């Protein structure tokens, strides 16, 4: 494991967007993707009256972040869960609603730097990629047992890999001779399958395949489609949400859900919104924010990040929403 400090992505922007909600008396924040705890530490430091629940499915992340945040006492509450379980986490800890929520999606730097987790294509390790090590499905299982058509679909949809058919043909041919068990072997197969012209831009040619497999193994997109609406429904009026996405599919889901809640559902032409049909959120970012050049120089891993933020302006009209 790499013990180098992990740099929270777009920290200044996160703090700025969440400050009006996190600074309210008795405010509750949820860091839905706790990771190494960098964003949580900054929020708890900036707002002495804030209570924060840190959610992560990875027990190792929870343990390390809890040690980092131990000095905040009972203002920090760790919770092992997936981020679509936020309403359950709130109820389990005696809270009815939240005031600020942060989602920093994708794989964390800490997980990338743990070679044995099998997330990184740049170092040889078992082909794993599970965010929760107790889950059964691994990248090795996907690579060696999924039908070729399913593999092509996963690489095209989740990795946006235009050479998906070539990559899958190489995988199927190789696994017919010997099971593919390591990240190094898979990265080599992908590299050899992609034509030279396709290697000239976009970084490591295995990046898209590894992203696609990680998303499949952890069910990330399906979880995100449930998680964001659940979190928005659980917010108090005046509460704020910040989402950082690292690929277009996550960002598209985020953009569409926030836009839907920021517009009126009243029939066109009415001078005012009918009761219960007005916008329930206000967009704080008209388009996704990206890291500054200063941040890119300090933390190159932040390059794909796209940040969107919104504020709740009215109670939810959905059943079970926060009051």
What residues are designated binding site? Answer: 37-39, 56, 83, 104, 111
Strand partners, 240: 100, 311
The C-alpha atoms of residue 35 and residue 16 are separated, in whole angstroms, by 20
* Binding-site residues from annotation for S-adenosyl-L-methionine: 37-39, 56, 83, 104, 111
* Dihedral-angle region of residue 159 (phi above 0 means left; psi in -120 to 50 means alpha; beta otherwise): alpha
53 and 19 Cβ atoms separated by less than 8 Å: no
98 and 74 Cβ atoms separated by less than 8 Å: no
User: 């400050």: which residue's tokens?
Assistant: 19
The DSSP letter of residue 299 is -
318 and 231 Cβ atoms separated by less than 8 Å: no
Six token digits for residue 130? 């599970």
Contacts of 158 (CB under 8 A, 6+ apart): 211, 212, 213, 215, 216, 221, 249
The C-alpha atoms of residue 320 and residue 306 are separated, in whole angstroms, by 30
Strand partners, 281: 312
């Amino acid at each position: 494991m790499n013990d180098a400090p992990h740099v929270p992505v777009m920290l200044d922007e996160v703090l700025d967007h969440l400050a009006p909600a996190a600074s309210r008396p008795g405010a509750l924040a949820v860091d839905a993707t706790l990771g190494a705890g960098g964003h949580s530490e900054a929020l708890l430091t900036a707002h002495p009256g804030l209570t924060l629940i840190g959610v992560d499915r990875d027990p190792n992340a929870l343990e390390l972040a809890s040690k980092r945040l131990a000095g905040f006492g009972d203002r920090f509450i760790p919770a092992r869960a997936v981020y679509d379980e936020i309403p359950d986490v709130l109820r389990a800890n005696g809270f009815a609603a939240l005031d600020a929520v942060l989602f920093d999606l994708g794989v964390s730097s800490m997980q990338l730097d743990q070679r044995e987790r099998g997330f990184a294509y740049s170092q040889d390790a078992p082909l794993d990629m599970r965010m929760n090590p107790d889950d059964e499905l691994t990248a090795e299982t996907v690579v060696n047992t999924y039908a070729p058509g399913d593999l092509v679909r996963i690489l095209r949809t989740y990795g946006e890999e235009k050479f998906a058919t070539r990559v899958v043909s190489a995988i199927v041919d190789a696994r017919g001779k010997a099971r593919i068990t390591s990240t190094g072997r898979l990265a080599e197969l992908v590299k050899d399958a992609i034509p030279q012209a396709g290697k000239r831009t976009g970084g490591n040619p295995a990046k898209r395949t590894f992203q696609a497999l990680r998303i499949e193994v952890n069910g990330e997109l399906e979880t995100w489609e449930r998680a964001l609406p659940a979190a928005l429904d659980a917010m108090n009026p005046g509460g704020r949400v910040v989402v950082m996405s690292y690929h277009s599919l996550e960002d598209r889901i985020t953009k569409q859900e926030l836009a839907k809640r920021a517009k009126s559902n009243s029939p066109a032409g009415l001078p005012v919104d009918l009761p219960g049909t007005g916008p329930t959120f206000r967009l704080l970012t008209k388009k996704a924010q990206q890291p500054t050049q200063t941040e890119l120089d300090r933390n190159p891993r932040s390059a794909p990040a796209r940040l969107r933020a919104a504020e709740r302006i009215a109670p939810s009209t959905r059943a079970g929403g926060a009051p």
